[in-house]
Amino acid sequence: MSPPYKLAARESQPENTVIRVGECRIGGGEPVVIAGPCAVEDEEMMVKLACRLKRMGVHILRGGAYKPRTSPYSFQGLGEEGLRILARAGGTAGLPVITELLDVRQLPEVCRYADIIQIGSRNMQNFGLLREVGRVKCPVLLKRGLSATLEEWLMAAEYILAGGNRQVILCERGIRSFETYTRNTFDINAVPAIKHLSHLPLMADPSHGTGRRELVLPVSRAALAAGADGLMLEVHPCPEKAVSDGPQSLLPDELAKFMGELRATESCRTRVIA
């Protein structure tokens, strides 16, 4: 019996989808790293951090201009000014940028400044929003919902694909469970399962998947070993002063060391294949 997600299914396209963003190929075999702060805070910090991330070997710069917060009194982002800062930081460092879209009314300006549109977990089943991003040519990173099954997640991707936008990237970011030690429960099973079910590239977000800085890199290694096409990581030069998600943000030095590990691993893999 054919799955209900016709376009996202592996059986409809046996070969992996590869999405080009800037100089990187998401799903092309080498792990892609997206990194940056949870929220765009100020231009000086963003530019300095973006340039440092570029030197480390990070491929794509992240930063939120519109923030979906549980509390209406929490920092909601800088809006369009945040988008401009993010774009300038990415341009200065030579990195493409990704940012989250919350509302269809923001779509034109997000498309103007960003190279990838992120649909967050809270909007995974916002079908009106999915239809609209299905009509644009910009790549879309679709995060798994807080309690979504794999089929529900792939059906959400189907909305975008059916609209004509075939540049869809999935992102596992942890699901809600009874555990309270971690922010979410990172579903490592989802990584090989999705690679079996779908041809779409899959990123892993262990920052939101764990919510704890000390767990981010171990879970990153596990996700890559399970077959993820890359990682989406939060990093901040001073996490204790971050306006959002400081406890799960890596320090730049921690990420730099990890990027060195990745380069060494890829070098060894290349020598073995050769």
Sequence-ordered list of residues with C-beta below 8 angstroms from that of 116, at least 6 positions apart, any chain: 21, 60, 96, 97, 98, 138, 139, 140, 141, 169
pLDDT digits (tens, 9 = 90+) for 115-149: 999 999 999 999 999 999 999 999 999 999 999 99
Residue 248 CA to residue 168 CA, distance in Å, equals 26
Q: Which pLDDT score is estimated for 269? A: 59
Measured in residues, the chain has a length of 274
pLDDT digits (tens, 9 = 90+) for 215-265: 999 999 999 999 999 999 999 999 999 999 999 999 999 999 999 999 888
Q: Which pLDDT score is estimated for 274? A: 46
- Residue 271 confidence class, pLDDT cut points 50, 70, 90: low
User: What global pTM score does this model have?
Assistant: 0.95
Contact between 86 and 41 under an 8 Å Cβ cutoff? The reply is no
Residue 208 CA to residue 69 CA, distance in Å, equals 14
Domains in the chain, start-ordered, CATH in brackets?
19-273 (3.20.20.70)
Q: Which of 24-28, 75-79, 87-91, 151-155 is least confident?
A: 75-79
Strands 202-204 and 116-119: unpaired
Radius of gyration of the chain (CA): 17
